[in-house]
Structure 1
Amino acid sequence: MQKIAEWHRGFQVWQYSVSHSTLLLRSVNVAGFSTRIDVVFVGVELMLIRPTYSKLIIFCVEGDEKREILVNESEEVIGKQLFLLDGKASYVVAGGFSWHEDAGDHHTPSRFGPLRGTE
């Protein structure tokens, strides 16, 4: 398991697009922070997530450990990347992950494209 990102600030599920299999988590209007962070997962196959996180630590899991977590899933799902959010309680199986920090607010469009509800 490899840690790939970590933020000690609140995040919430901002949007999930079924047609584009895209999940957007956003940290905005957090006390003590003047920036917004968008975290996007693309090509989402499977997810077990909470609506909010007080902090966000993302790990990428490979090999046998991934198979242990996704024990009942198909090879197609296991072939994607497994991202753990704050330990093993939450996860996203997706084709990729990226993030962006800027000075935007909750009305500012996301860098990750015109996602409905983020224009």
Structure 2
Amino acid sequence: MLASDWLNTKDRFAPSAELFRSDRDFTVWAYTISHSQLLLRTRTPELNGNRSTRIDIVFKPVRTMKVRIEYSGLVIRCATEVEAARIRAENSGLHDDAHCLVLETGLDQDYVIAHAVGWEEDTESDRDPSKLAGFAPGSDPNRIFR
């Protein structure tokens, strides 16, 4: 069975709780200001005649973020109380109801502060539209990358 989940209630975001883990490589695929959506995606290369699955991770609405373009393996976890306080201090004017999420790859850490995060693994191509995020026609990754 392919994995999917959508986390948008406070009870799903306990401090330091691991939410997602994958050894796959992820790329920042799209970000839209209008809907404050960040889409991370795996590529779907063919291996021995079979295409690998695609994993989409969507954060929305994003209040602030510090991300890199590519992640070689990815762990998403809730920030500890100390990490969240430090990250919030670096970013003034944030609402306290958004969740502070840490993105780890190797020894490096980034973060996204958002109200919800979800992921879906499917058998679509990396050029097909995401099932989790709607993008305006001018910013639709499917139209941009074709």
TM tier relative to shorter chain? 0.7 to 0.9
The runs of 5 or more residues in structure 2 that have no matched partner are 1-15
Q: Name 2:72's counterpart in structure 1.
A: 54
For these two proteins, the number of residue pairs brought into alignment is 119
Q: Does 2:79 align with 1:79? A: no
Q: Residues of 2 paired with 1:117 and 1:22: CA distance?
A: 13
Whole-angstrom distance in 2 between the partners of 1:14 and 1:65: 26
Q: Which runs of 5+ in 1 are unaligned?
A: none
Could you tell me which amino acid in structure 2 is paired with residue 16 of structure 1? Y
- C-alpha deviation, 1:31, in angstroms: 6.7
Larger Rg over CA atoms? 2
Structure 2 residue matching 1:118: 3-state secondary structure: helix
| Bigger strand share | 2
Question: How far apart are the structure 1 equivalents of 2:72 and 2:103?
Answer: 11
- Output the CA distance in 1 between the equivalents of 2:115 and 2:20: 17
Q: Counterpart in 2 of 1:26?
A: 41
Which residue of the partner structure matches residue 92 of structure 1?
A: 112
CA contact (8 A) 1:46 1:77 kept: no
More helix by share: 2
Instruction: Rate the CA distance shift 1:25–1:73 in 2: closer, same or farther, 3 A.
Output: same
CA deviation vs aligned residue, 1:47-87 (integer Å, no higher than 9, x gap):
00000001110011253431123223336344310110006
| Contact 1:77–1:93 under 8 Å retained in 2 | no
Q: TM-score, normalised on structure 1?
A: 0.87
> Is the partner of 2:39 in helix, strand or coil?
strand
Moved over 4 A (4+): 30-33
TM-score (norm 2): 0.72
Contact 2:42–2:126 under 8 Å retained in 1: no
**Which stretch of the first structure deviates more once superposed, 3-12 or 66-75?**
66-75
